[in-house]
Amino acid sequence: MERVLVVDDEEGIRSFIGEVLGGEGYQVTLAADGEKAVELLSRLNFHLVISDLKMPRLDGMELLRKVHAEQPETEVIMLTAHATVESAVEAMKLGAFDYLQKPLSGPDELRLVTSRALEHRRLLEDNRQLALHGEVEMVATDPAMRKVCQQLEKVAPTDATVLLEGESGTGKEVAARRLHALSRRNQRPFVAVNCAALSAGLLESELFGHEKGAFTGAVARKRGRFELADGGTLFLDEVAELKTELQAKLLRVIEERNFERVGGTRIIEVDIRLVAATNRDLKKEIEESRFREDLYHRLAVFPIRLPRLKDRPADILPLAENLLVGIGHRLGKPGLVLDQESSRALRVHDWPGNVRELANVLERAAIMSEGAQISVAGLLTTPSEGERHAPDVTLKELERRAIIRALEATGGHRKNAAMRLGIGLRTLYDKLKEYEIG
- Tens of pLDDT, residues 154-193: 999 999 999 999 998 899 999 999 999 999 998 888 999 9
pLDDT of residue 134: 44
What residues does each domain of the chain span? 3-122, 134-307, 310-434
- The pLDDT tens digits for 301-337 are 999 999 999 999 999 999 999 899 889 988 888 899 9
Instruction: List beta partners, residue 77.
Output: 50, 98
Q: What DSSP line would sit under 283-305, residue for residue?
A: HHHHHTTSS-HHHHHHHTTEEEE
Instruction: List beta partners, residue 7.
Output: 31, 51
Instruction: Decide: 102 and 50 in contact? Cβ < 8 Å.
Output: no
**C-alpha angle 198-203-207 in degrees, rounded to nearest 5:** 140
3-state SS class at 258: strand
- The pLDDT tens digits for 32-68 are 999 999 999 988 889 999 999 989 889 899 999 999 8
Q: Which DSSP category does 280 fall into?
A: S
How far, in Å, CA of 132 to CA of 143, rounded? 28
Give the residue-averaged pLDDT of 378-383: 61
Instruction: List beta partners, residue 5.
Output: 29, 49
- The pLDDT tens digits for 99-134 are 888 888 889 989 989 998 998 888 777 666 555 444
Domain 134-307 and domain 310-434 have a common topology: no
pLDDT of residue 337: 92
Q: Among candidates 228, 202, 227, 206, which has minimal Cα distance to 216?
A: 202
How far, in Å, CA of 184 to CA of 38, rounded? 33
Place domain 134-307 in its CATH homologous superfamily: P-loop containing nucleotide triphosphate hydrolases (3.40.50.300)
The mean-pLDDT minimum among 92-106, 197-211, 215-229, 381-395 falls in 381-395
pLDDT of residue 129: 58
- The pLDDT tens digits for 6-17 are 999 999 999 999
Q: Cβ neighbours of residue 63 under 8 Å, at least 6 residues apart?
A: 7, 34, 37, 38, 49, 51, 55
Domain 310-434 has CATH 1.25.40.10: no
Long-range contacts of 151-159 (CB under 8 A, 24+ apart): 151/302, 151/304, 152/178, 152/179, 152/182, 152/304, 153/182, 155/179, 155/302, 155/304, 156/182, 156/183, 157/182, 157/183, 157/184, 159/273
Long-range contacts of 96-105 (CB under 8 A, 24+ apart): 96/64, 97/223, 98/221, 98/223, 99/53, 100/50, 102/13, 104/13, 104/16, 104/17, 104/79, 105/212, 105/219
Instruction: Report the amino acid identity of residue 136.
Output: V
Rounded to 5 degrees, φ, ψ at 64 are -55, -45
Asked whether the bond before 334 is cis by omega within 30 degrees of 0, the reply is no
pLDDT of residue 92: 82
pLDDT of residue 83: 58
Instruction: Report the amino acid identity of residue 391.
Output: P
Domain 3-122 has CATH 3.90.1170.50: no
Instruction: Decide: 67 and 47 in contact? Cβ < 8 Å.
Output: no
pLDDT of residue 256: 92
Q: Is residue 255 scored above 90 in pLDDT?
A: yes
